[in-house]
Amino acid sequence: MTGTVTLNPCIDRTCCIDGFTVGGMNRIISDRRDISGKGINVSLALKELGEPVLTSGFLYSGSRSLFLEGLKNSFLDYRAVEVDGYLRENIKLWDKRSDITTEVNQKGAFVPEDKVEAFISLFSSFVGTLDTVVLSGSVPEGVRRDIYRVLIERANEKGVKCILDGEGDLLLSGLEARPFLIKPNEYEFISAFAPKDGSLEEIAKRAKEIVRSGMTTMVSVTLGRRGALLTDGKDTYFASPPEMEVKCTQGAGDSVVAGFSLAMAEGKTMADMLRYGVAAASGTLMREGTEMCRKEDFMRILPQVKVKSL
């Protein structure tokens, strides 16, 4: 079974407009709200794909009923430490005309140290029941910046594979504990590891160097519309999504992680891991708001994803 950790859950409000005007009037065509957070998105995608999943994180008391009702409607099992405060709300302005999304994200409410330690204890109590655990997203104020390193160390003690999808010091600190796989997006990867340029060749070269240094077993970098790559330091694969109408880009990277997790659970090859990830992301791109891929779309798209060796 796969587990996910979401330490900074949120409500994603996705507003669709047709032509964004800076400093002018912008009328909303459609508007939806979804319970979200990167780990929750991974859980939702895995649930849609038929993979058992355990979801964990913080539960904000001021939004308790709203949050739990949303998870209940999605049939997610949530293990949480309750804290004071309210869910943050992230606004996603998707310009249909230019196909550009502008994000305005709130910070998470402050989490005191004793609640952070309580979550570490909670995580330690269930992580041994998992095969893989996904640690992803930002953390609220008060949470120690080495939190992912601490959680990866606890998972490693139980022989559980960790997928880390973070940025900045959360990513770099987490790497100190040697997760199984990291999945930054292009911006996060370039910011953290400074390849010579943003070309596919340079990114692949730098990703292989990271694996060969012993910091992780695999590196995947998602490259937006270009696709994604995956390397174990020896073999490197690249895949791009098939042509389709994109309705929203939110959650696509999280769906890649869900696809990886599913492939790992099924014992697939590394090339198939990438194929699963890109197919799951493509299925999510077809959905509005933070709505994740569906099994029927995933199965239809999967044969269309072409993986090549770099």
Q: Which residues are catalytic?
A: 254
| Residue pair 175/182 in contact by the 8 Å Cβ criterion | yes
Q: Choose among 193, 258, 252: nearest CA to 223.
A: 252
How much of the chain is in helix, strand and coil states, percent to nearest 5?
A: 40, 25, 35
Measured in whole angstroms, the distance separating CA 151 from the mean position of its chain's CA atoms is 17
Instruction: Compute the distance between CA of residue 157 and CA of residue 151 in angstroms, rounded to an integer.
Output: 10
Read off φ and ψ for residue 98, nearest 5 degrees. -95, -10
Instruction: Compute the distance between CA of residue 261 and CA of residue 288 in angstroms, rounded to an integer.
Output: 23
Instruction: Compute the distance between CA of residue 285 and CA of residue 278 in angstroms, rounded to an integer.
Output: 10
Instruction: Compute the distance between CA of residue 38 and CA of residue 138 in angstroms, rounded to an integer.
Output: 8
Q: Choose among 126, 116, 175: nearest CA to 149.
A: 175
Total residues belonging to the chain: 310
**Residue found by looking up tokens 């990867």 in the block:** 189
Cβ-proximal residues to 175 (8 Å cutoff; 6+ apart), any chain: 164, 182, 215, 216
